[in-house]
Amino acid sequence: MLTALAEGGLQYLMAGARCNIGLKTGRYMFEVKILEKSTFHEDPTARSRMMGARSVLRIGLSTAKSSLILGETEDSVCFDSEGFFRDRRKASPVCSSKFTTGDVVTLVANLDPNSKFGNTLSVFKDGQRVAPPQQIPEHLQGKVLYPGVSFRNMALHYNFGASLMPLPFKCRFLKDASQKDVSIKAAVKPTDGQYEVIFPIAVPDEGGFDWLDHFLESHPGYTELSDRAMLSWCEQSGLSRPKGYAATSRASNDKPEMGFGVSALDDGSMRRTLQALVSIQPRHFIVMEVKAGLLKEDRSDLALRWGGYQRIATVVVGEPPVAFKEYSQERIFKAKQEAKLAGAKSKGTPEEEIPAVELTAEEKKLTFRRLPVSDLTAYVLNTNFQKFSLPDEQETYFEDIQYVWSPEKKAKQHLEEWIQVKKLTSRLEDLQPGEWFSTKWKEWQKVVQSYQTKHNIYKAAEAKKSAQLAAKEQAEKDGTELPLEALAALDESDKVDFDSLDVFGVEDVMDVGGGEPLFAAFTFEDWTLMSLRYELHLMAHAFRRDSHDPGRISVPVEHLAFYYQKYYKKALNIKFFGVDSCEELVSMVSDTVLITGKSKVLEPQLPDDLESTNLFVMLTEESRRDRNRRIDMGDDSAKLKIVASGQATATPQPRPFATTQIRPQWPQQQPTSYQTRPISPFGQPRPTYQPWEGDGYKGGGYKGGWRNW
């Protein structure tokens, strides 16, 4: 008897069983009786996720390497209890009735090519045919096919011997099959009685999952346990996932997240339930956990769950063998060809007219295939990679540690080099600005405020002086004289020639002469660039202190916006500066910071122990003068495109699928001239309107008030 589990989320998934006797030729039958359909308390959301019946039976044939869920791959065909014939996820309605509790379902497989109905499957319900013979797909003909069943929320009795429900014709049961017509696949048990559980250890995005697929193809006796395998199980069980099952819909390959909105499926219950069953269903397993396999503590917890098994750590790190490189190239070619076929078919191009693709020179050099999503999410990778390690002899919970690509020494060296590269290019997610940064930033804000206050005072004085100069000119025309105080204010004897002034020779930027500051000619753009200079300068020096890692001392330009947000608690909008990339942004203040090295990191050009921040005023003024000289010479590229505050708003985008709706114009009703008196709230005619005769209010009212109603 076969029965399905109904807890831990498994009640939503299909179970399967396959006979170890495969058919090569001849005509044979076997029976399945539906004993009961299980019921359980169901999450309301789960019902909408199950595409099809809650209780399902599938009965058919498959190859030895096929999935146990029939009808989902090209290696199996079947009938189901809803009356469909299934082949490669295509369901065709062929049966005249469905199967339910108490029914005996008989499958007749005719693999005799010389028979009238050779290479067909027939299904019977309680001894009566319910569908015409269905042709076995051509690609399965001639192969050894094994009887099997897939089911959900059912209890079944299978019968390979004496008939429970005779057919209208004679047919031998599988138990009575001739030796020449069948192939018996005996279960191979370990000689020492211990089954293996393999833990692959791989560097993220360096072929770990391709190695796993390659291993499973050549070792069909191993069962994969991973989140991606469980997600595939859900897909084959017909569960609807809001994000779909495409590779790009996953957060990562290691932890793709279930995302069904059903607690029993999303909270890890399936994994825990299966872990509890491994002791009573012994077989070889391969447990794929990328992050856990690289962290020593997690690796220990993972291995210790598998007591009673031969635990083997298989390290696939370093230079892979030629066979794997060829396999990787084949998968790159296959993925590219499938993408081209899909694109051509969407345009209506016949498949035979679609030419084969060719790999580019760059693709031929690839050792590892680029998957649609990364093995780990950026956050998980950035917060853990510095702790990655490979297993060694001290981890005694492994019975064996195998380095299948590079030897142990080279594999560990490869991982160390990979970590060093990641330090230069990855984000430090848990970075916290230190006290040195906070102190310097507060000091700068006070200095900038003093600059702007001085700038406002100077501009106001200049405006007043302009007004007094105009008054003087008017007085001269009128033949009058201004007061001595007004004439004294117009004295410019102590004013310097600002345009010929040596910017870097100024002693006081607040007063270069006559009360004029060095930033007197600053506009909105100049203040913005001066702030950018100091912000990038300060961030570059603060990062060296706050990273607390001698191998990570510079800000990668690709993460400039991320760290800017971390330090200044505001977004860095490069469009505001009129540029399209962070590289262009940094080039605007190249006198303060530069992008250097192959890793393109931010390198400060000024020391962190400046005596005064006045240097940033000088650099900005010198840059302003140089920019104006270039513009005067006709160099339009020198013009700034910085957007003033309030103008850097995004262009509103139309909502997808939005349509213009016109409110229907309903015909207006004409006022009705009532011939009868209004009705009271109680359905009676209102009393005659008469003046109120009581005390107090003298206005009109209904005599007798509400008491008459």
Residues 515-537 have pLDDT tens digits of 889 999 999 999 999 999 999 99
Task: State residue 626's pLDDT score.
Answer: 94
Task: State residue 607's pLDDT score.
Answer: 93
Task: Assign 483 a pLDDT band (cuts: 50, 70, 90).
Answer: low
State yes or no: pLDDT of 650 exceeds 60: no
Residue with the two structure tokens 């957007």: 643
Q: Where are the domains of the chain?
A: 2-184, 196-320+368-425, 433-447+497-648
**Residue environment code for 259-278, b if the CB has 16+ CB neighbours within 10 A, otherwise e:** bbebebbeeeebeeebeeeb
Average pLDDT on 84-102 reads 93
Determine which helix (DSSP H) or strand (DSSP E) holds 489, and give its type and residue range: helix 484-489
Identify whether the C-beta of residue 163 lies closer than 8 Å to the C-beta of residue 107: no
Task: State residue 114's pLDDT score.
Answer: 86
Task: State residue 341's pLDDT score.
Answer: 84
Dihedral angle sign, alpha carbons of residues 58, 59, 61, 65: positive
Task: State residue 485's pLDDT score.
Answer: 62
Alpha-carbon distance of 306 to 282, in angstroms, equals: 11
Contacts of 230 (CB under 8 A, 6+ apart): 258, 270, 271
State yes or no: pLDDT of 274 exceeds 80: yes
State yes or no: pLDDT of 662 exceeds 70: no
Q: How many CB atoms lie within 10 A of CB 579?
A: 16
Q: Which amino acid is at 552?
A: R
Q: At what angle do helices 435-478 and 560-568 cross, to 10 degrees?
A: 80
Task: State residue 52's pLDDT score.
Answer: 66
Question: Which residue in 116, 115, 133 sits closest to 124, CA to CA?
Answer: 133
State yes or no: pLDDT of 692 exceeds 60: no
Question: Rg of the chain over CA atoms, in angstroms?
Answer: 40
3-state secondary structure 59-108: EEEECCCCCCCCCCCCCEEEEECCCEEEECCEEEECCCCCCCCCCEEEEE
Residue with the two structure tokens 């298989």: 314
Residue with the two structure tokens 């007798």: 704
Which tens digit of pLDDT belongs to each residue from 15-43? 999 999 999 999 999 999 999 988 766 66
Q: Which amino acid is at 441?
A: W
Point out the least confidently predicted range of 52-61, 138-147, 491-500, 566-575.
491-500
How far is the CA of 284 from the CAs of 113, 220, 224, in angstroms?
Answer: 37, 10, 9
State yes or no: pLDDT of 443 exceeds 90: yes
Point out the least confidently predicted range of 129-138, 309-318, 452-461, 685-694.
685-694
Task: Assign 264 a pLDDT band (cuts: 50, 70, 90).
Answer: confident
State yes or no: pLDDT of 686 exceeds 80: no
Q: How many CB atoms lie within 10 A of CB 431?
A: 17
How far is the CA of 387 from the CAs of 102, 177, 206, 380, 704, in angstroms?
Answer: 58, 59, 18, 12, 91
Joined together, the tokens standing for residue 41 give: 């308390």
DSSP state of 653: P
Strands 120-125 and 555-556, by their bridges, are: unpaired
Q: Is 489 exposed, middle or buried (0-12, 13-18, 19+ CB in 10 A)?
A: middle
- Domain 2-184 of CATH type 3.30.300.30: no
Alpha-carbon distance of 90 to 75, in angstroms, equals: 13
Determine which helix (DSSP H) or strand (DSSP E) holds 443, and give its type and residue range: helix 435-478
Average pLDDT on 501-519 reads 89
State yes or no: pLDDT of 193 exceeds 90: no
Average pLDDT on 448-455 reads 94
Alpha-carbon distance of 252 to 248, in angstroms, equals: 9
Q: What is the pTM (predicted TM-score) of this model?
A: 0.75
Task: State residue 260's pLDDT score.
Answer: 86
Q: Is 656 exposed, middle or buried (0-12, 13-18, 19+ CB in 10 A)?
A: exposed
Alpha-carbon distance of 569 to 437, in angstroms, equals: 13
Per DSSP, helices labelled H in 305-434 are 322-346, 361-364, 378-384, 408-425
Average pLDDT on 95-114 reads 93
Task: State residue 586's pLDDT score.
Answer: 94
Average pLDDT on 506-516 reads 88
Residue with the two structure tokens 């999952």: 209
Identify whether the C-beta of residue 601 lies closer than 8 Å to the C-beta of residue 424: yes
Determine which helix (DSSP H) or strand (DSSP E) holds 265, and give its type and residue range: helix 263-266
Average pLDDT on 501-509 reads 89
Average pLDDT on 653-670 reads 40
Q: How many CB atoms lie within 10 A of CB 341?
A: 14
Residue with the two structure tokens 């791989």: 202
Alpha-carbon distance of 411 to 440, in angstroms, equals: 44
Question: Which residue in 607, 584, 594, 609 sits closest to 555, CA to CA?
Answer: 594
CATH classification (class only), 196-320+368-425: alpha beta
Residue with the two structure tokens 């833990």: 199
Task: State residue 189's pLDDT score.
Answer: 81
Residue 183, strand partner residues = 22
Q: Which amino acid is at 236?
A: Q
State yes or no: pLDDT of 651 exceeds 50: no
**Residue environment code for 346-375, b if the CB has 16+ CB neighbours within 10 A, otherwise e:** eeeeeeeeeeebeeeeeeeeeebbebebbb
How far is the CA of 553 from the CAs of 166, 425, 439, in angstroms?
Answer: 81, 11, 20
Average pLDDT on 182-186 reads 88
Q: How many CB atoms lie within 10 A of CB 133?
A: 17
Identify whether the C-beta of residue 405 lies closer than 8 Å to the C-beta of residue 414: no
Could you give the 3-state DSSP secondary structure of residue 542?
helix
Write down the mean pLDDT value for the chain: 85
State yes or no: pLDDT of 539 exceeds 80: yes
Alpha-carbon distance of 284 to 194, in angstroms, equals: 9
Dihedral angle sign, alpha carbons of residues 388, 394, 399, 405: positive
Joined together, the tokens standing for residue 594 give: 């530069």
Range among 345-349, 427-431, 686-690 with highest mean pLDDT value: 427-431
Per cent of the chain over pLDDT 70 is 86
Task: Assign 196 a pLDDT band (cuts: 50, 70, 90).
Answer: very high
Q: What are φ and ψ of residue 636, in 5° steps?
A: -70, -20
Alpha-carbon distance of 637 to 246, in angstroms, equals: 46
